[in-house]
Structures are given as structure tokens and as C-alpha cells.
Amino acid sequence: MTQDNKQVLLEVRGLKVAYGGIQAVKGATIEVREGELVSLIGANGAGKTTTLKAVTGIQPIADGEVHYLGRSIRGQGAWDLAKQGLVMIPEGRGTFTRMTITENLQMGAYTRNDKEIDADIEKVFGIFPRLKERRDQLAGTMSGGEQQMLAMGRALMARPKVLLLDEPSMGLSPIMVDKIFEVVGDIHKQGVTMLLVEQNASRALAIADRGYVMESGEVTMSGNGRDLLDDPKVRAAYLGE
């Protein structure tokens, strides 16, 4: 499916990010169009998380540009960007372990002041019945997979225009991995634009409209998700073939 006619919501152009003397991202260019699910794959240490941190205003940009909704994100903090719908689910989930499920979901709406927050919590419970069952339980008492569901539910409470997910399947049991990829696909079908960072390359590319491969801070390949999945170089490097 071609989406060239769709508006570019997120544009990363020639992005460079450094930690002191270490160049973690060395000129990455990535585009996410309205309605797309784009997967960014690559080995541990390739610079994927650093890219997401730069995009969300958490890590300073050394060079290059990041545009969200056509405007530079420079000078805008994570809160401002989240308020405009650019929302990240961080690596390791980032749930508030000493708050209940419901309180975590309410925290997800911290950039909002409308009257539909309770209705949106019910919608999240519709997507994740498990969270509804445990609504009054402390988040810290749940399994990794349940906490990932909570992290996704909390992000949805911000009404994201572009949702950035960092390794949602990491450390989960095979059944939970299936569940998480299923939900990512469902959320995408409901119209949320997504940039999905994953080490599980086969699953991430299988559900993606397009994908990018990152190696040592550089984007080395890009294309249609299916084409990348069938590419012998990708298969050799990331699918163990």
C-alpha cells in the first residue's frame, strides 16, 4: 500500500546525537506518514532508543532536524510534544509501580483537561480487559506483559497522533509477545500512527507498512515492511538465517 499522498507527521533528517564523545546516532533520516506503522529495527546498541529520545525532546540534537507536524521540535520539551500528540512508551515500560492501574491511566491524561478522560479509561479497559479486572491493584504487582499493556493504555490516554514504542516485546513470554504485537496491530488499525522500535525484527516488519534498519547509528536500509522481511541481507543479519 502506497501512502506517498499522506502527510508526513514525523520527519527525522540527518539526525546526529552524541553522549559526550560517543556518536550514538550519526545522521539518521526517517519519515512517518499519517496512518503508517513504521518499524525501526537493529541490533542492541544501534542507536534506536537514542533516536526516539531525540525525537521526544529528551536527548539534545547535535545536528540535523526533527520536524513534528511540520514544525521543528527544537526548544520543545517532552511535555509540550506529548500535549501535541507525540507520545513515547519508553523501553522498560515506565509504569508507576506504586500507583494502581486506574491511577496510572489517569496519569496518562496529564496533558489533558477535557471531560472525556473517564470515558477514555473505559475504552482502554475495552482494549485490555485484564487491566479492568485489576483496576485497583498496584501496577508493581503485575507481570511484565501486563505492565506493557498498562504502558500502552497509559499512552493511549494522551490521545496520541504519533505513538513511539520502544521494544514493547522485550523480556516477555511468547504468549505475551503474541498479544502485544496483536494489540499494536489493532491500535494501528484504529488509525494511530506508529513508530515501532524492536529487536524482534520478523514480527515488527511483518506488521509494518514500512521499515528502517539501523546499524551503528546509521540507517542502512529502508523500504516496504514485507520487502525488508524478504531481503536476504536482513534475513541473514536479523532473522538468524
Question: Residues in the site for ligand ADP, rule: CB under 6 A?
Answer: 19, 22, 24, 42, 44-50
Q: How many Cα atoms sit within 13 Å of 149 on the Cβ side? A: 28
Task: List the 218-224 sheet strands across, edge first.
Answer: 86-89, 162-166, 193-198, 37-41, 210-215, 218-224
> What's the DSSP call for residue 110?
T
**Residue among 47 and 108 whose Cβ is closer to ligand ADP:** 47
Minimum distance from CB of 45 to Mg ion (Å)?
A: 8
**Residue among 124 and 219 whose Cβ is closer to Mg ion:** 219
> What's the DSSP call for residue 202?
H
Q: Show the cell assigned to 160.
A: 496520541
Task: Please give the sequence-ordered ranges of beta strands (E in DSSP) within 60-209, or none if there are none.
Answer: 63-68, 71-72, 86-89, 162-166, 193-198
**Residue among 45 and 129 whose Cβ is closer to ligand ADP:** 45
Residue 79's binding partner among ligand ADP, Mg ion, none (Cβ under 5 to 8 angstroms by kind) is none
User: d(Cα 221, Cα 138) in Å, to the nearest integer?
Assistant: 42
49 binds Mg ion (CB under 5 A): yes
**Residue among 35 and 92 whose Cβ is closer to Mg ion:** 92
Which residue's Cβ lies closest to Mg ion? 49
Q: Show the cell assigned to 202.
A: 520478523
Minimum distance from CB of 74 to ligand ADP (Å)?
A: 20
- CA nearest 209: which of 183, 189, 180? 189
CB count in 10 Å sphere of residue 129 = 10
**Residue among 57 and 85 whose Cβ is closer to ligand ADP:** 57
Question: What is the identity of the amino acid at 138?
Answer: L
Minimum distance from CB of 222 to ligand ADP (Å)?
A: 16
Residue 134's binding partner among ligand ADP, Mg ion, none (Cβ under 5 to 8 angstroms by kind) is none
- CA nearest 218: which of 45, 36, 9, 35? 45
Residue 113's binding partner among ligand ADP, Mg ion, none (Cβ under 5 to 8 angstroms by kind) is none
Minimum distance from CB of 218 to ligand ADP (Å)?
A: 12
**Residue among 26 and 134 whose Cβ is closer to ligand ADP:** 26
Residue 42's binding partner among ligand ADP, Mg ion, none (Cβ under 5 to 8 angstroms by kind) is ligand ADP
SS3 at position 16: strand
Residue 44's binding partner among ligand ADP, Mg ion, none (Cβ under 5 to 8 angstroms by kind) is ligand ADP
For Mg ion, the binding residues (CB under 5 A) are 48-49
